[in-house]
Amino acid sequence: MTETSRRALLTGAAGAGVAAAVAACSGGGDGGAGPYGGSANTQAPSAGAASGGAQTPGGGAGSALATKADIPVGGGKIFPSQNAIITQPTAGMFKAFEATCTHMQCTLAAVADGVIMCGCHGSRFSAADGSVKSGPATRPLPERKITIEGESISLA
C-alpha cells in the first residue's frame, strides 16, 4: 500500500511540473508572466485618447498605434494584440519588431535600456535591430514595417 501511495504522489508531482512548464511557455499575451510582466513599458496606450484620436477601429495596419512621444528613447512599447513592439533605440530612430520571442513564442515582456526582454525564459534582444543579445533564443526578432506621419506611428 505504501508503495502505491508514493507512486501516486510522484505521478501527481510530475504532472503538476509539466502543467507549470506548459503554462509558463504559453505566452498568454497578458504581460503578467515572468520577471518583467509589471513593467510600465508593456502596455499600449489607450487608443484614441493617448494618441490624439487618429485611429481606425481594430488597431491594424494603417492605424496609429502610438505617437513619437509615447516611445521612450532607449525603450519601447509592446502592442500584444498587434504582435508588435515599437522601439526608439536612439533619439528620433524608430524600429518595430514582432512581439513574439523566437525561442518558445512567448509574448515579449518589456523594453528598457536598449534591450527587449522575454519574461518566460530570459532571452534578450537588441532594441536597435532585433538581434539576440542573450539566449536561449538563437534567432533574431522579425522586423515589422512602420510608417510615421507627423507624430503618429502606424504599422505599414
Arithmetic mean of pLDDT over the chain: 72
pLDDT over 80 (residue 148):
yes
For the domain 27-155, what is the CATH code?
2.102.10.10
Assess whether pLDDT exceeds 60 at residue 85.
yes
Mean pLDDT: which of 24-28, 37-41, 116-120 is highest?
116-120
Type of residue at 108: L
**Residue 103 CB contacts under 8 Å (≥ 6 apart), including other chains:** 118, 120, 121, 123, 135, 136, 137, 138
Closest by CA position to 31, among listed 63, 65, 79, 72 = 79
Beta strand residue intervals within the chain, DSSP E: 64-67, 76-79, 84-90, 93-98, 110-112, 115-117, 124-126, 132-134, 146-149, 152-155
Q: For the segment 66-76, what is each residue's pLDDT rounded down to a tens digit?
A: 999 999 999 99
Residues 40-52: pLDDT tens digits? Answer: 333 333 333 333 3
